[in-house]
């Protein structure tokens, strides 16, 4: 009798434990699916926002944007970037004048100028990987902005020598820093609908032209 009772108790405990593990694993799988959907939706909902509320971006959000940028992939982990955070109204006005495509900076609360640091870049032909690295950092910042309900737009500077020189002058950049772009950021003052850019004709499988 005692052996039978002990066996029943053990089986009951094992059954409870099994149900618990199934529930936990099921929840984890549900969370994985939910997380992947959130990430994908954030990517698909990102869009260029060019007008903003008269409201500053909080310091903690600025730091999160920068952390997202620095989490980007980088060749040989060189991290050849430097970020200039601009919140001063006079500087934002000057940036809007330095780049004709960044004119919205004059009415924005924040801009982040993403620069390539040539002192950290690879040597020889690999030097140009800084453009890819800083571009990846830029996209991370844009996606982070979307996730925090901020609006942002990527305005190109490099490789235009004229724009690079103008932005460098405004920011007092040393020769070792090349401004890749200016990301203008703020709280959107209106809803902007993202474009559907999915095009099957832009895809090939295994070899060019194969569907």
To the nearest whole percent, how much of the chain has pLDDT over 70?
Answer: 84
Domain ranges within the chain, ordered by starting residue: 48-186
Please count the residues of the chain.
211
Q: Say what the pLDDT of residue 50 is.
A: 97
What are the b/e assignments for 33-42, b being 16+ CB within 10 Å?
Answer: eeeeeeeeee
Helix (H) or strand (E) holding 65: helix 59-70
Give the pTM: 0.84
Considering the domain delimited by 48-186, tell me its CATH architecture: 3-Layer(aba) Sandwich (3.40)
Q: Say what the pLDDT of residue 27 is.
A: 53
Distance from the Cα of residue 147 to its chain's centroid: 9
What is the C-alpha separation between 140 and 135, in angstroms, rounded?
9
């Amino acid at each position: 009798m005692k052996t039978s009772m002990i066996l029943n108790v053990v089986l009951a405990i094992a059954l409870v434990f099994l149900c618990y593990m199934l529930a936990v694993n099921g929840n984890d799988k549900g969370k994985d699916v939910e997380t992947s959907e959130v990430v994908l939706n954030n990517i698909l909902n990102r869009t260029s926002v060019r007008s903003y509320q008269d409201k500053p971006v909080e310091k903690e959000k600025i730091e999160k944007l920068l952390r997202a940028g620095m989490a980007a992939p980088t060749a040989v982990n060189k991290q050849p970037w430097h970020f200039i955070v601009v919140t001063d109204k006079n500087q934002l006005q000057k940036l809007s004048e330095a780049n004709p495509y960044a004119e919205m900076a004059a009415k924005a609360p924040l801009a982040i100028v993403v620069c390539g640091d040539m002192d950290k870049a690879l040597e020889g032909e690999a030097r140009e990987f800084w453009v890819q690295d800083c571009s990846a950092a830029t996209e991370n910042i844009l996606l982070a902005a979307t996730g925090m309900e901020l609006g942002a737009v990527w305005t190109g500077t490099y490789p235009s020598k004229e724009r690079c020189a103008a932005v460098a002058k405004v920011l007092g950049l040393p020769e070792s820093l090349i401004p890749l772009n200016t990301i203008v950021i703020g709280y959107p003052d209106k809803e902007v609908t993202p474009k559907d850019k999915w095009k099957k004709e832009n895809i090939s499988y295994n070899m060019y032209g194969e569907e």
